[in-house]
Homo-oligomer: A and B are copies of this chain.
Amino acid sequence: MAHDEKCPLCNSDGGRLLVASDWWRIVLAGDADHPAFTRVVWNAHVAEMSDLDELRRRELFDVVVRVESVQRAALAPDKINLASLGNQVPHLHWHVIPRWRDDRHFPDAVWGVARGGENARATARSAAVRARLDAYVGALQRAFDVTAPPAVEGR
């Protein structure tokens, strides 16, 4: 499997590991403003979707859409954001981010400028999402037939 010893996604899970497979993994990004911000990371060190053959690419994107579906069912967000950027870490990974009209960055991308330093509604929103995080993680793991959290969080 392609591996780059200097790549952070080759040397760590890149977040709290929720679901692991031979080809990809699902991690929680640990973003304070967006607690359910989830990433689907391809395990091998490749840069682009078009570097995968059709079968693997479909498998990965199907996983992304399943995460989206679980977020919609478990969290009822106003919108889902999907993105594969990789400018900082050119190792294929998808951001799957549930968004709310009152979150810290809406309607901008989460990579844009946050709205104000003190924003009571955004703080309340992130707290509300955090309160449902265990339920979301449980629903996600059930959707992928993971009956218990992975025993090993490190990599």
Contact = CB atoms under 8 A, between A and B. Distances in A.
A48 B68 contact: yes
Contacts of A108: 87, 111
A83 B84 contact: yes
Nearest to A106: B87
A58 interface: yes
Nearest to A64: B49
A29 to B, nearest CB: 15
A113 B114 CA distance: 11
A32 interface: no
Interface residues of A, number: 30
Interface in A56-80: 57-58, 61, 65, 68-69, 72, 79-80
A7 interface: no
B81 A109 contact: no
Contact of A107 (B47, B87, B109): B87
A147 to B, nearest CB: 24
B83 A81 contact: yes
A85 B83 contact: yes
B87 A84 contact: no
A88 interface: yes
List the 6 shortest-distance A-B pairs measured between CB atoms, nearest first: A83-B83, A109-B111, A87-B107, A82-B84, A50-B69, A81-B85
Interface of A: 47-50, 57-58, 61, 65, 68-69, 72, 79-88, 90, 99, 106-109, 111-113
